[in-house]
Amino acid sequence: GNSVTQMEGPVTLSEEAFLTINCTYTATGYPSLFWYVQYPGEGLQLLLKATKADDKGSNKGFEATYRKETTSFHLEKGSVQVSDSAVYFCALTGGGSNYKLTFGKGTLLTVNP
């Protein structure tokens, strides 16, 4: 079946540091890949997405590239801010008509001033 593995947290960084959160996946077919973000006390929001190999999703300074050869979709940001403190979830759909999302366990990011 489909599965998503994220790096274990929590991750603590200083403001303006470089961020990488690793994500690898197992899926049949041609999945679409997503990063969702959950700010404290809120529901999840879509951060970025990629639908095919070598696509790069980007939003709010975050980027992730769909790497089929390594089955990875690592999240990166060049300079994090305190407001980026949140839980980040990597997720995928199984492709085709399968609209269900499979989530990773989430990575808590704390950015200190």
Cβ distance to other proteins smaller for residue 62 or 89: 89
- Reading phi first (left if > 0) and then psi (alpha if -120 to 50, else beta), residue 106 is in left
- CA 91 to chain CA centroid, nearest Å: 7
Q: To the nearest whole angstrom, how small is the minimum distance from the Cβ of residue 79 to other proteins? A: 27
**String of DSSP letters for 35-82:** EEEE-TTS-EEEEEEE-STT-EEEETTEEEE-BTTTTB--EEESS--G
Which residue of 59, 65, 72, 98 would you call a contact of other proteins, by CB under 8 A?
Answer: 98
What string marks each residue from 16 to 55 as x (binds other proteins by CB under 8 A) or -? ----------------x-x-x----xxxxxx--x-x----
Please, which residue, 7 or 101, has the CB nearer to other proteins? 101
Tell me phi and psi for residue 102, to 5 degrees.
Answer: -110, 125
Its sign, for the CA torsion 15, 50, 25, 90, is positive
Stretch of residues binding other proteins (CB under 8 A), selected from 22-30, 60-68, 75-83, 97-105: 97-105
Q: Which residues bind other proteins (CB under 8 A)?
A: 32, 34, 36, 41-46, 49, 51, 89, 91-93, 97-101, 103-106
